[in-house]
Structure 1
């Protein structure tokens, strides 16, 4: 990790400086939902919005959107060619993520977008997205993930995420935990304006349809939307400190328009309720379980959860299984068909002697769950984006 390879290429392409307003979002979980909602609100307010996210689900184009529309194949190919040309002139090699991120920035600049909403891929300080100076920095939360790259304590990881903070800009910290010292230090060093959840802004559920967002200056009653309230509230906090002109109506319309696949996504398939969630680390799964608990309170016909489950080998499988075990009554497990897939034995080991059925692949595991699920049971597909992807492809 590091920016020394990518900065000369970015400068050659002239993408490090932009007249657009830039909102950069880092964090362990919730970045996708936060950036999606932020972009949707800004779009409803009439801005031409660039949105950069990763990973993609079906097509690479999903990573690069302008006002809700994916970049075309031709736009991407043209940008890749320019990035590769600049890379060669600099005599440098770039990683997949570095090259494709620079291509996205090139497209955003060519399209003269008003606002760029950028999702950090990994960490913050040394992530290629951080070659662009943000006008607003958002840190959704800090959890233990990618410890090989970012460090094995919350403070070490917080130090990496805090690397997106710049002098005199507004900073949102939306973590439910105590503010890490590393973020506090970086804010003081940069004389940035810090806005902390449950200190400088607040949110709470009002009823099944609405919720309240409050700052010391005002209170808004807003619709629930399709995504998790934690992340919607972070997006609202970010747009309100951005200095951009945004009406309450744009905020409401943006919240209702924002959708993203695989974030507690509830679907009816062959008259069975299936929930897709991309939570793949303990922090993400804790969040999933909170939403699941609420869902089952509102839908009392469901008393059991059957899960279609697989994970990547470099994730904390033991902790994820431990969190899910009290809730899941039946496990349908299979190995993923990607290089980083966890072996079936590793998943079975984590499950100890729990009632499991194992299958040749995720598609078979899902079909079996669909065939045998009873009226009081719902199906939860989780563990990895790749698990969700396999089921989505099968449904298609």
Structure 2
């Protein structure tokens, strides 16, 4: 702990901007990721957020390797449609920080965030502790939810589960979407270690929705230790696609035909299972309304802009890419069929163009391997380095891609904004542009497109 981290001389004030507060909080701790609850708990208790959640709200906590954002979005939308006041916490954000903290679907204001940051900073200094950026901002979100007196809190775990700051709040309902190899430096390099960390969100006697058919022994051990009730995908609930607009969900108690949402059916089924297993009063009408309106930027996010067809997806590991490909292959066929009917376009004249970048501590090789071996007509790859400390370099991306595709298909740029402009200029209206690899890739591409709209 450095003296400067506990100094008040450089602390922003309530008159400071949100950007000034965010910059400050990124500088006051020795590392960006510092897992453990020993530092954050005294500050949380000083703020009263732990007791507030325990006394006043029903809490869903969602952990897992992939699909947390979609799952939390669906849970929140269903509860809101049923008339509850909903607090939703997600991370990271794509465009602006406020995306992380929502009440009834609306991002909270800069002023609300700044007020909470100021209170968290005061409590931190009183406790003479340093906190990471994620710890500070998560505490602020929890404080906002407590002060807003929300009925339901839907909380997305940032990293792992057991030692993540979100885990200071005892959940009433736990969801683990799936478990795969990711964040090996912090969670371990095998599914048993990772499963043990994610199952750390369990509490005695609560319900767990486990959203995958394969369960590590470490998760089952945690279920047994806590005497938790578990509903597992493929055993206790399942779903099937009926047609492009309808899907069917079933568990031991109900079978429902429902409108197809814009998000993954796997994550939607997990979310619905959690909602149905809760004591909340949420009827089929509210569920249907939620499924017709729920959306989440960057999750199989189809858009048309700049006279181009775009698909944005934050897939950044092997499992995430498998998820993307399972939906992308049918989408490509639908895209061709739609274009054929109106423009006489064939698969020979339309192609997929990839706008791609990743973080350097991810398994870039595995992701590229799966994308290149999936049988998709990817004609070109546009790559650039993300503006982020852990970004993979353009040279690293190029070297890996060159092992799988012809070098003539790889187009390198210094900035992602330049790659975004280039892919527009080098594509046709009938092509599909896929943007993937990281939350940061999606965020920078969307910012570049927004800037182009303003210019």
TM-score by length of 2: 0.85
1:331 to 381, 388, 404: 381
> Paired residues, what number?
395
- In structure 1, runs of 5+ residues without a counterpart are none
1:350 lines up with 2:400 in the alignment: yes
More divergent stretch after superposition (6-15 vs 43-52): 6-15
- In structure 2, runs of 5+ residues without a counterpart are 1-34, 338-345, 451-455
Q: Secondary structure at the match of 2:49?
A: coil
1:277 to 296, 313, 332: 313
1:116 lines up with 2:163 in the alignment: no
1:107 lines up with 2:144 in the alignment: yes
1:56 lines up with 2:106 in the alignment: no
Distance in 2 separating the partners of 1:294 and 1:168: 41
Distance in 2 separating the partners of 1:312 and 1:381: 14
Asked whether the equivalents of residues 308 and 430 of structure 2 are also in contact (C-alpha less than 8 Å), the reply is no
Q: Which position in structure 2 is the counterpart of 1:79?
A: 116
Distance in 1 separating the partners of 2:146 and 2:223: 29
Asked whether the equivalents of residues 309 and 429 of structure 2 are also in contact (C-alpha less than 8 Å), the reply is no
Shift of 1:375: 5.5
More divergent stretch after superposition (143-152 vs 353-362): 353-362
Aligned counterparts, 1:88-237, within 5 A? 88-176=125-213, 178-237=214-273
1:69 lines up with 2:69 in the alignment: no
Distance in 1 separating the partners of 2:443 and 2:430: 26
Shift of 1:300: 2.8
Q: Which position in structure 2 is the counterpart of 1:321?
A: 368
2:359 to 312, 322, 325: 312
Post-superposition CA distance 1:7-63 (Å, at most 9, x none) = 111111111122200000000010001101110000000000000111112221111
Distance in 2 separating the partners of 1:367 and 1:89: 49
Q: Secondary structure at the match of 1:159?
A: helix
Distance in 2 separating the partners of 1:154 and 1:256: 35
Over 3 Å off, 4+ runs: none
Distance in 2 separating the partners of 1:33 and 1:81: 30
Distance in 2 separating the partners of 1:360 and 1:61: 28
Q: Secondary structure at the match of 1:380?
A: strand
1:379 lines up with 2:433 in the alignment: yes
Q: Which position in structure 2 is the counterpart of 1:23?
A: 60
Q: Secondary structure at the match of 1:299?
A: helix
User: CA, structure 1 residues 375+111, in 2 after alignment: closer, same or farther (shift >3 Å)?
Assistant: closer
For the aligned residue pairs, the C-alpha RMSD in angstroms reads 1.3
Larger radius of gyration: 2
Q: Secondary structure at the match of 1:206?
A: strand
Distance in 2 separating the partners of 1:309 and 1:360: 13
More divergent stretch after superposition (119-128 vs 57-66): 57-66
Post-superposition CA distance 1:327-374 (Å, at most 9, x none) = 333111112222211111111111125221112222222222222224
Q: Secondary structure at the match of 1:311?
A: coil
Shift of 1:274: 1.0
Distance in 2 separating the partners of 1:276 and 1:295: 13
TM-score by length of 1: 0.97
Post-superposition CA distance 1:208-232 (Å, at most 9, x none) = 1010010111101111111111111
Asked whether the equivalents of residues 49 and 146 of structure 2 are also in contact (C-alpha less than 8 Å), the reply is yes
Aligned counterparts, 1:2-41, within 5 A? 2-17=36-51, 18=53, 19-41=56-78
Distance in 1 separating the partners of 2:183 and 2:192: 14
Shift of 1:114: 0.4
Shift of 1:184: 0.7
Distance in 2 separating the partners of 1:62 and 1:335: 24
Q: Secondary structure at the match of 2:59?
A: strand
Asked whether the equivalents of residues 307 and 429 of structure 2 are also in contact (C-alpha less than 8 Å), the reply is no
Distance in 2 separating the partners of 1:386 and 1:133: 30
